[in-house]
Amino acid sequence: EDGGDGDFGVVLETRPKTKRPPLYKVMLLNDDYTPMEFVVHVLERFFGLNHAQAFEIMLTVHKKGLAVVGVFSFEVAETKVAQVMDFARRHQHPLQCTMEKE
Ligand code: TYC
């Protein structure tokens, strides 16, 4: 590092560090058994969507197999997944909700 020229190889910051925390996509997965109305209710209740938005996302999941329902910090995403999974389990529906780093 020190070539005798007084350069100790200190790397100077050229750019300010503005590292944002990673975001996580929360996704709903399709299945053959969970009633459509139940999925719409889940989207309204846990993701604050209005009825039209909830119905639209439910239909996307039904047709495409999955859809992103929201993007959150790790903690919030984890909580949403747990709430949906618990609610579905309590109602004995096989609905699956997962999260993935963006
Ligand atoms: N495919 C389900 C049905 O036909 C509806 C459904 C939609 C299930 C979205 C899960 O995440 C889901 N009753």
In tens, the pLDDT along 42-59 reads 999 999 999 999 999 999
Which helix H or strand E contains 82, and what residues bound it? helix 74-90
Upper half-sphere CA count for residue 92 (Cβ side, 13 Å): 0
**Average pLDDT, stretch 74-94?**
98
Longest dimension (CA), the chain: 75
The tokens for 26 are: 């929360």
Taking the C-alpha atoms of residue 99 and residue 97, their distance in angstroms, rounded to an integer, is: 7
| Torsion region of 59: left, alpha or beta (phi above 0 gives left; psi -120 to 50 gives alpha) | alpha
pLDDT digit string, tens, across residues 17-42: 888 899 999 999 999 999 999 999 99
Check pocket membership of 78 for ligand 1, CB cut-off 6 A. Answer: no
pTM across the whole model: 0.85
Distance from C-alpha of 26 to C-alpha of 45, rounded to nearest angstrom: 15
Q: Which of the residue ranges 5-9, 47-51, 90-94 would you say has the lowest mean pLDDT? A: 5-9
Q: Which ligand 1 atom sits nearest the alpha carbon of residue 35?
A: 13
How sure is the predictor about 3, in pLDDT bands with cuts at 50, 70 and 90? very low
Of 28, 38, 57, 61, the one to substitute when testing ligand 1's pocket (max ligand atoms within 8 A of C-beta) is 61
Cβ(39) to ligand 1 under 6 A? yes
User: For ligand 1, is residue 36 a contact (CB within 6 Å)?
Assistant: yes
The whole-number pLDDT of residue 16 equals: 81
